[in-house]
Chains A and B, each alone.
Chain A
Amino acid sequence: MAAAVVSRGFGLGRPGWKAKRDVVRTVFLARIKIITRYKGAIFMEALLPIVFAAMPVLLGTTVAGANAGAVFEERVGTSNFRLYMLIGAATFTVVSLMLWLIGYWVRREQETGTLESLYLAPARRIYVLAGVTSYAFVRAMIAFLIAILLGSVVFQVNPFEQGMGLAIVFLAIGFLPLWGLAFMFGAFIMKIKEADAVIQVLQWVLSFLMGVFYPLTLLPVYLQTVVKLFPPTVMTDGVRASLLGINFLYNSAFASLAVLFAMALVVPLLGYKVFESTERRLRRKEGVGHY
């Protein structure tokens, strides 16, 4: 292995790619092992989007009655408001889970002392974070797929009629800026040493910014400009527009994908830089493990 071996001992100060890959793999597997030891956790979180989507579906049906589909089509471009809500709730769950898992991971590690143990080891944080975010990605995808499949039965809708491939592309590219946001969120939690309250507030702010249950065209123009720059909004809109055949946020699938791709290049780097500088500031002060 092309790496500097410490004068004695097995550890490597400058590891090769195999050792780096081993860190990502080990962290990922450890997280999976831990969650599977909490029985039923993954399945239960997949039920949330169905419950979450059921509320506006029932409200819409109550308000508009038999005309619900027609009224919705007038404003949104599709009468399939059930699938619209289901996709919105499922992608929101993905975004929420990603941020929640990273933020809560940082806080939990701080409380249990494992964060200091991580900082004692020579493994670079980027590889540890890659392991954790990969786990968050897998967990979020499982929740998304179960929610979509189970939800399509509950709401009697077919999400596979059109644009599934394009929706997956939006989802896959959308995960990258989401990682960046998760790093920033993790840095913020590490600094303020509180996760629950922030996550509670953020859930609602996020669902509003992402237009989970409504078209963004209903927002004032200045707010539309703001939310268009928010990566989860572009991702949700892309997935929904692909599956329902409605207008994209940036007018075409190509334009929306291009914007999301640009975000995928910039936001993770920015997020990691924010994480690194927060971590360094904390080490200048009381230390990362201070809780």
Chain B
Amino acid sequence: MDTIIRVQDLSKTFTTKERKKGQKKRKRVVEALKDVNLEVFAGENFGLLGPNGAGKTTLIKCLTTLLLPTTGTAWVNGYNIEKEEDMVRASLGCMLMGDRGLYWKLTGRENLDYFGALYHVPRDVRAKRIEYLIDLLKLEEFAHRTVETYSSGQKMLLAFAKALVNDAPILFFDEPTVTMDVPTARELRRIVRALNLEEGKTIVYTTHLMHEAEELCARVAIIDRGEIIALGTPNELKASLVREDVVKMEGLLPASVVGKIRAIPGVREVSVQAAPDGRASLAVTCANSRHLLPRIIEAATGNGASIEYIKPQDVTLEDVFLTKTGRSLAEDTREVVKEVARGGGRG
């Protein structure tokens, strides 16, 4: 497969000032990206997954030329992000700031026309493209109104349409569904999938929602503290985990069942919680729940158990992250590498 985005030893360091009451002003050096190396293939739907502060947005901002890297470089659509900025920008459609980045005193249609012109889309092509997008994203009802009258979801849809106005070969979406209601988010994911599968667009999709990444992305890079800590298909990443699965089972479970299940090779532990009405709840810890589930069911039902509920707990990308970092995706992981006190401590 052809590489369409290549990132080479890319690092980005920020310096910020922190002012805490009663303390000296401190200069903080934050290493947002550390020697990132990455390849995205043409026509791929690529996911960037990581908690807040992991470096996802910084990486996207570098690739879209909004930020210049401190060291290292990258090529997008064959163009260098520092030397051929205009060609990089013309190769991209971006939705990076949610519903920000729209002119509230212009209508939806006027916003699309404005940004179409900035992407040098010829006027006649632009007019047709705008009508196509209004139809595709069902914006007809509100496209003639000024953006200030839109709901959050409508603004997000317009921002999404804006990313498609130049019909670019590469699309960057930074948490596009974040303020959308469930049906709109589902519809948007359907369109993202269609853009990838039917129109062959290369998509870089950042999210902290595992189910989105699993549903949409062919490959996923998990980023943490500015480093890529895992890269592969969602199934490869999940399969790479050496972890214990847990099968939850509830029902009328005779005492002998516990021993029979314990005797199955691969089962590590069975914990029992008995209820006063004679029912019990079992948690079976084993090496591979998918593989052992039929034998566990057979051992239970073959020994007089009546199973009312059974559920193997699946490995998720959250588990992958948890295993690799020891932290949850919900944590903020911005890393301060240096703190320098400055000034006279006036607070």
Contact = CB atoms under 8 A, between A and B. Distances in A.
Interface of A: 1, 3-4, 6-15, 18-19, 22-23, 25-27, 30, 33-34, 37-38, 112-114, 116-124, 128, 280, 283-289
Interface string B90-125: 111110110011111110001001110111111101
A291 to B, nearest CB: 10
Contact of B68 (A3, A22, A30, A283): A283
B73 to A, nearest CB: 14
19 contacts: A3-B120, A4-B87, A6-B169, A9-B166, A11-B90, A12-B90, A13-B89, A19-B122, A22-B122, A22-B123, A23-B118, A114-B100, A114-B101, A117-B102, A119-B65, A121-B118, A122-B119, A285-B15, A286-B14
B91 A13 contact: yes
A13 B97 contact: no
Interface in B64-87: 64-68, 70, 77, 79, 84, 86-87
Nearest to A115: B101
In the A-B complex, the 6 residue pairs with the smallest Cβ-Cβ separation, listed nearest first, are A113-B100, A121-B118, A13-B90, A26-B117, A11-B166, A13-B87
Interface in B114-147: 114-115, 117-123, 125-126, 129, 146
Contact of A114 (B70, B102, B129, B166): B102
Interface size range of chain B in the complex = 35 or more
B14 A30 contact: no
A286 B64 CA distance: 14
B169 A8 contact: yes
A225 B229 CA distance: 63
A18, A27, A285: residue with the most chain B Cβ atoms closer than 10 Å: A285
Contact of A33 (B90, B93, B110): B110
Given A123-B117, A285-B15, A6 B91 contact: yes
A120 B87 contact: no
Contact of B105 (A18, A33, A123): A33
B117 A8 contact: no
B101 A112 contact: yes
A116 B95 CA distance: 11
